[in-house]
Amino acid sequence: MDNETFRHWSKVAADWGADYRKSLADFPVRPDLVPGEIDAQLARSAPETGEAMEAIFEDFKTRIVPGMTHWQHPRFFAYFPSNSAPVAVIADYLVTAMASQCMLWQTAPAATELETRVLDWMRQGLGLPDGFSGVIQDSASSATLAAVLVMRERALDWAGNKKGLSGAKPLRIYASDQVHTSIDRAIWFAGIGEENLVRVPSIGPLRSADPTLLKRAIEKDLADGFLPAGIIASVGGTSVGGTDDVEAMCTVAQDHNLYVHVDAAWAGSAMICPEYRHYWQGVEHADSIVFNPHKWLGTQFDLSAHFVKDPASLTKTLAIQPEYLKTQTDGDDRYPLINYSEWSVPLGRRFRALKLWFLLRFHGLEGLRQMIRNHVEWAELLAEKIRATDGFEIVTEPMLSLFTFRYLRTQGESLDDVNLRLINAINKDGRTYLTQTKIDGKFVIRLQIGQFETSPDDVQIAYDAITECAERL
């Protein structure tokens, strides 16, 4: 593609992006499709000769866009948000145009130094003390895998990478029964084995791992010849927002010299507001913390902020220096040089820091705080309204902007069945999009508010859609 054509189509794409965002509220949040419907419209093999951009762009508009679920829709209340603030989209365009590979300081000096700086802005914004260093990981799953690998290596006196795990005592990792499945997978991939993930029963309204049972489990494991390696605390679990007592978990960890990783992938964004920080009280005692600015804060996938107290334990676990990656620059005491690929599982790295820098500068922390406070307040109001509506109950109270509810009027079928019918009807209706979960054996409908463009009117429309669909069941 020559440069003038590139310029032209970049402008077309920018126009399309602005028009798309403007008209989003008119689309159903999720398309009404059957599997294979999009594939049926796609050529069976790649063309031998190039096609005109007009045709490619037209097919994008007519074949791809109608088959998308619109995560930026102001009434997307499913899962967790995956926001892309317009300012972060612009930064990502620039990044893609440069296509830097930010694995080493030398391959991307400005990207590396900006990453260090902007994560330190973020650290301060979250109220974390000095002494945490940040790195951008592609996902919370990767950050958690890196943390579990550190737990493993630390417990094995740094011998696991060399010798493997055979012959070692079985390692144990502890977490509540509310943690995200990325924890299970990190434990599989680290070779620790799912049977060695000890799930401590959760208690109380926040569904926190019971610290007494946690302590007992560790002591029993020690007596039985296991090797405890670390604890994973959840702050804002995906199902119903399960939140551990981080302070209590860290105290138990200190008694047994265990590494603590905090998964606050969704809820971490809210910690820019001081009034929500009680949810992770004691977090300064943790060794590793991950949260996803690509969820609530608006830096679009993929940007996970990972803070660690001791970067040396991360690089000791993950760094490798083949001849072809050695560079001639080392930095000095004044500015020690960082090669961020030594802090993460993948080698290659996009220039992700730019979109976070643009975002924080454009909105300011105060602008982002206001958005989050609105979402939390609107979720609380909506939960009250649903509670006050005949035939509905709130099953789990709002944790920040996430709560669950269910419908109680059945025509002879079970409550689980009627709620499955209700959520299918709501999602077919298209005005809003919700997902479900199971808690205490009950099928419940989950609702979170977290979209950049959501207004109180959208919340009202979602309420109308829910109650009208229930009436019509």
Ligand X SMILES: *Cc1c(COP(=O)(O)O)cnc(C)c1O
**Binding residues for ligand X (CB under 6 A):** 80, 139-141, 180, 182, 237-238, 263, 265-266, 292, 304
- With a CB cutoff of 8 Å and minimum separation 6, the contacts of 95 are 350, 351, 352, 354, 355
By C-beta, is 105 or 276 nearer to ligand X?
A: 276
In whole angstroms, the minimum distance from the beta carbon of 181 to ligand X comes to 8
By C-beta, is 352 or 431 nearer to ligand X?
A: 352
Q: Are 339 and 105 in contact (CB under 8 A)?
A: yes
Query: What is residue 190's DSSP assignment?
Result: T
In whole angstroms, the minimum distance from the beta carbon of 439 to ligand X comes to 15
Query: What gap in Å lies between CA 262 and CA 82, rounded to an integer?
Result: 20
By C-beta, is 112 or 139 nearer to ligand X?
A: 139
Q: Residue 365: left (phi > 0), alpha (psi -120 to 50), or beta?
A: alpha
By C-beta, is 194 or 417 nearer to ligand X?
A: 194
In whole angstroms, the minimum distance from the beta carbon of 304 to ligand X comes to 5
- CA atoms 115, 339, 303, 21: torsion sign: positive
By C-beta, is 160 or 208 nearer to ligand X?
A: 208
In whole angstroms, the minimum distance from the beta carbon of 441 to ligand X comes to 22
Q: Are 430 and 30 in contact (CB under 8 A)?
A: yes
**Type of residue numbered 416:** D
Estimate to the nearest angstrom the gap between the alpha carbon of 336 and the chain centroid. Answer: 30
By C-beta, is 141 or 401 nearer to ligand X?
A: 141
By C-beta, is 72 or 431 nearer to ligand X?
A: 72
In whole angstroms, the minimum distance from the beta carbon of 86 to ligand X comes to 22
In whole angstroms, the minimum distance from the beta carbon of 28 to ligand X comes to 24
Quickly tell me which residue has 């943390």 as its tokens.
Answer: 147
In whole angstroms, the minimum distance from the beta carbon of 238 to ligand X comes to 4
Upstream peptide bond of 302 is cis (omega within 30 degrees of 0): yes
Cα distances from 310 to residues 19, 31, 45, 258, 353, in angstroms, run 46, 46, 50, 14, 21
The helix (H) or strand (E) run that includes residue 134 is: strand 133-137
Query: What gap in Å lies between CA 206 and CA 402, rounded to an integer?
Result: 12
In whole angstroms, the minimum distance from the beta carbon of 374 to ligand X comes to 20
Q: Are 294 and 91 in contact (CB under 8 A)?
A: no
In whole angstroms, the minimum distance from the beta carbon of 140 to ligand X comes to 3
Phi, psi of 35 (to 5 degrees): -55, 135
By C-beta, is 431 or 446 nearer to ligand X?
A: 446
Query: What gap in Å lies between CA 350 and CA 20, rounded to an integer?
Result: 26
By C-beta, is 238 or 427 nearer to ligand X?
A: 238
